[in-house]
A and B are shown apart, each in its own frame.
Chain A
Amino acid sequence: MTEAVVETFSENDLDTLVSIAIRRAEVLEDVSSPNAQEAWLEVLAYEERLAAITAASNIAGGIARAGAVHAALAAGRREEAERLAQNYLSDPSLPAERRMAIERAFEEDNTRLAAHFPALAKSGRLGEVQAWRREVAKSASVFPRAA
């Protein structure tokens, strides 16, 4: 789905679409499906759009912002997650609780990576995994689902 199409959806439409997409991504993640990352990209598209059309101080806007950061991380797009987090955290109206939720999303991603790569985590080399995932994400047509 293109960005232009997503922009035509109302908040209610996006709420329904993101609900369906989250459920799908979590089910795929549960069975370690290689399609889980792609499913999180769909979640990311809806959460980002919801974040764009809702106020940071609003509960729905706060959920969307933390959700977009989490979805980017779950999709293996750490750079994008960092960019989004920087953008959202620069808004002074974002509640402290949502700031912590965004920070928690990064901690959860580190925990998840450490569980997948225990030896690298033990030797403090998870950064290498993140660098590798960044490279893979740039080369979408080469081993697109490896990261």
Chain B
Amino acid sequence: MNLALHELLNVHVALRGHPIDYPRSGGLALARAGHSSPVDAVTEHDGHPGRASIEWRSHDSAILGAVDEHRLTEDGAEAVALAYTHAVGRWLVKRRLRRGEYADWLLQTDGQSLALEISGTMTDDGRGRLKEKKEQVTRCTLPASRMAVVVAFVQPMILAGTV
């Protein structure tokens, strides 16, 4: 599976115009973890292992000194997770959800909807985080499929779980 972060806005056109530059955030988060494009990532979707190659365009890493690290991890994780969900299910961003909906984004494809909760981590236990996020998205009451995705950056990993 190839995840081209620089193509993200061509895939998810609803992200165009966002003040957050998701493709750049994804690349910078991976660069901050010491990686250069492309990087191989381990994937695990409902326990099934796989691999993904994540590509991005290089950015001036001097900006890393000026960004909020927590925010970069979260925005970078959103970039990778949105690329991943499109790659595995052709899901496209519809809109962001407020916190009270217990998911970050509503995605759609062919008349189906997906409530997606995303989290990013540099070094923490991704599987433990996935468990927490799956519990969170379980509380989402929307008539939609529900999925949690955790992106780990130091040892690149995409963990996904449906509920």
A residues sitting closer than 8 Å to B (CB atoms) are 12, 15-16, 18-20, 22-23, 26, 43, 59-60, 62-63, 66-67, 70-71, 95, 97, 100-101, 104-105, 108
Contacts and interface: CB of A to CB of B under 8 A. Distances in A.
Contact-residue size bin, chain B (C-beta under 8 Å from the other chain): 20 to 34
Contact of A26 (B15, B16, B18, B99): B99
B102 to A, nearest CB: 10
Given A16-B14, A20-B19, A60 B144 contact: no
Interface stretch (B31-39, B44-52, B89-97, B151-159): B89-97
A130 to B, nearest CB: 19
B142 A19 contact: no
Contacts of A101: 100-101, 141
A63 B96 contact: no
A59 B95 contact: no
A28 B2 CA distance: 35
Nearest to B141: A97
B98 A16 contact: no
Tell me the interface secondary structure of chain A in the complex.
Answer: helix
Contacts of B113: 59
Interface string B94-125: 11111111000010000001000000000000
Given A16-B14, A16-B18, A59-B106, A105 B100 contact: yes
Interface string B9-44: 000001111111000000000000000000000000
Given A12-B14, A16-B16, A63 B143 contact: no
Contacts of A70: 98, 100
B100 A19 contact: no
What 4 A-B pairs come out closest when comparing CB atoms? A19-B96, A15-B95, A97-B141, A22-B96
Given A15-B95, A19-B95, A22-B97, 4 more contacts: A16-B16, A20-B18, A43-B98, A104-B100
Nearest to B142: A59
Nearest to A17: B17
A101 B143 CA distance: 12
Contacts of A20: 17-19, 96
25 contacts: A15-B95, A16-B16, A16-B17, A16-B18, A18-B96, A19-B18, A22-B97, A22-B98, A23-B96, A59-B142, A59-B143, A60-B94, A60-B95, A60-B106, A63-B101, A63-B106, A66-B100, A66-B101, A67-B98, A71-B98, A97-B142, A100-B141, A101-B100, A104-B100, A105-B100
Contacts of B142: 59, 62-63, 97
